[in-house]
Amino acid sequence: MEPDSGRADPRTIVIAGGGTAGWMTAAALGRFLGKAMRIRLVESDEIGTIGVGESTIPQIRVFNQALGIDEDSFVRATQATFKLAIEFVGWLRPGHRYMHAFGDIGRDSGLAPFHHSWLRGRREGVARDLACYSLNNMAALGERMQRGPARTAAMLPDMPYAFQFDAGLYAAFLRRFAEERGVVRTQGRIAQVERDAQSGDVSALILADGQSIRGDMFIDCTGFGGLLIARTLGSEFEDWSHWLPCDRAMAVPSGRTDAFTPYTRATAHGAGWQWRIPLQHRTGNGIVYASGHLSDDEAASRLLANLDSEPLGDPRPLRFTTGKRKEMWKANVIAVGLSAGFLEPLESTSIHLIQTAISRLLKLLPGDRPTQAQRDRFNRESDFEYARIRDFLILHYRANARNELFWQERRAATVPEALADRIALWEADGHIVREQDELFTEVAWLQVFAGQGLVPAGNHPLADVPSRAGLAEYLDLIEKLIAREVAQMPTHAGFIAAHCAARAAA
């Protein structure tokens, strides 16, 4: 269908690649620009997608809502479950566990964030585990789920949630959505990329069967290979593997279990970690490891030995390097998804980075031709976002008390200056500062600092004002209100059965 914008010759945006990045981009561009521009997508069945990426963070709901997607239909179509937190098992030392739960913790009193009261309370023996003051954490532990405001006390925060879903089904769901909004899909392998001799811009994708797909702007969603941004335009890769050395993974699905935990589990092992992501129809599993410390064969047997249901195939190996492209927007090409960079899957940030790249693209969408100012802005914002997430991930590895060589090296390694500054701020008096609009909030940093065993020497002086008895009463009240709220929530499995059970799993 022709766009009806009134322009004689509507511009064409071509998306190269049809993985999660390609179809999320196509769905958003179809939804918001479908009437003003031609949107095309090229994908190759022969090459396929990476086929992992099942755990998300709450911002995915903003994306789905912006597109006008009905949540329960989406959950059913993608065999999704709800996610309230990530559980970290064995990251401080074997046997230890904590959660990074979404949502607020406790209740701030005056100027000092809640955690200063908790730090003082802990020192004085009147505070319980940090988890007791987080609605998400307690609901996750109890395998409960509800949507909307708290039912039993107005002072309790909302319970933000994300999804654990089948990435292939999500891409298929978005494909239907995008095609209904005029996005034109072509199946075929891109064999050659044509460039304008004068400007150096990409002008067309030439497919193996000879078809030529011309465009004004190109979105590179071709995955790790970065066919346009790297192989054609030569945007360099900034390698961060000296900070985050895991470089391989093996993924294997296993049978459905009744324990649809409303959280993803990340269990540390001697040279990395293993994920467990329960969906309605199966469980996603994978092992992430540093190849210098663990062989592929050992990784495969370790993965298979730690499943809680029968494997549904053989482990599938994946290789990656943590880092990002120096320029994610170069000439008339914008990289979105794995072609732009990858920060290992520990905090489930990749799909979110696709989402923010799309909103940045929509915000800075050029008129007739992209300008250097637009590219610079896009690249600066992306750099900041990637670097702050990188630092958050490094913290999980850095503060550990494990004995294996891999973990000893992580403890001894130097960290980026910005992270060293944050750790120093925390270790003195428990201060946490969120920079600009970086992804992870103060409470996210708090849970990982505390979970990884970093204890500050002091706390904000304002938290010293109440009496010890007053502080104990305050902490006790929050804990009781949270426990009462969680007790009346349906179970996670019951909630899914009532609202959004997928057909195959019903």
State yes or no: residue 56 binds ligand FAD (CB under 6 A): yes
Question: Which residue among 48, 149, 292, 461 contacts ligand FAD (CB under 6 A)?
Answer: 48
Residue 262 CB, nearest distance to ligand FAD (Å)?
15
State yes or no: residue 17 binds ligand FAD (CB under 6 A): yes
Residue 476 CB, nearest distance to ligand FAD (Å)?
37
Separation between Cα atoms, residue 425 and residue 39, nearest integer Å: 48
Q: Toward ligand FAD, which CB reaches closer, 113 or 315?
A: 315
**Stretch binding ligand FAD (CB under 6 A), from 68-76, 332-340, 427-435, 494-502:** 332-340
Contact indicator for 107, 230 with CB cutoff of 8 Å: no
Contact indicator for 408, 100 with CB cutoff of 8 Å: no
Of 254, 262, 240, the closest CA to residue 163 belongs to 262
Residue 384 in tokens: 């900041």
Question: Which residue among 81, 137, 322, 348 contacts ligand FAD (CB under 6 A)?
Answer: 348
Instruction: Mark whether 83 is an active-site residue.
Output: yes
> How many positions of this chain bind ligand FAD (CB under 6 A)?
37
Separation between Cα atoms, residue 281 and residue 278, nearest integer Å: 8
Q: Toward ligand FAD, which CB reaches closer, 48 or 494?
A: 48
State yes or no: residue 50 binds ligand FAD (CB under 6 A): yes
State yes or no: residue 500 binds ligand FAD (CB under 6 A): no
- What H or E segment, with its residue span, contains residue 355? helix 350-363
In 68-201, beta strands by DSSP E? 81-83, 85-89, 97-101, 162-164, 184-187, 190-195
Q: Toward ligand FAD, which CB reaches closer, 20 or 356?
A: 20
- Strand, helix or coil for residue 33: helix
In the chain, the N- to C-terminal Cα span, in Å, equals 38
Site residues for ligand FAD, 161-190, by CB under 6 A, read 167, 189-190
Q: Toward ligand FAD, which CB reaches closer, 47 or 454?
A: 47
Question: Which residue among 40, 43, 204, 219 contacts ligand FAD (CB under 6 A)?
Answer: 43
Site residues for ligand FAD, 228-287, by CB under 6 A, read 249, 286
Separation between Cα atoms, residue 267 and residue 87, nearest integer Å: 8
**Stretch binding ligand FAD (CB under 6 A), from 101-109, 334-342, 386-394, 425-433:** 334-342
Dmax over CA atoms of the chain, in Å, equals 78
State yes or no: residue 356 binds ligand FAD (CB under 6 A): no
Residues 6+ apart with CB under 8 A from 438: 384, 385, 388, 389
Residues 6+ apart with CB under 8 A from 368: none
The residues binding ligand FAD (CB under 6 A) are 17-22, 42-44, 47-50, 52-56, 167, 189-190, 221-223, 225, 227, 249, 286, 318, 320, 337-339, 345, 348, 350-351
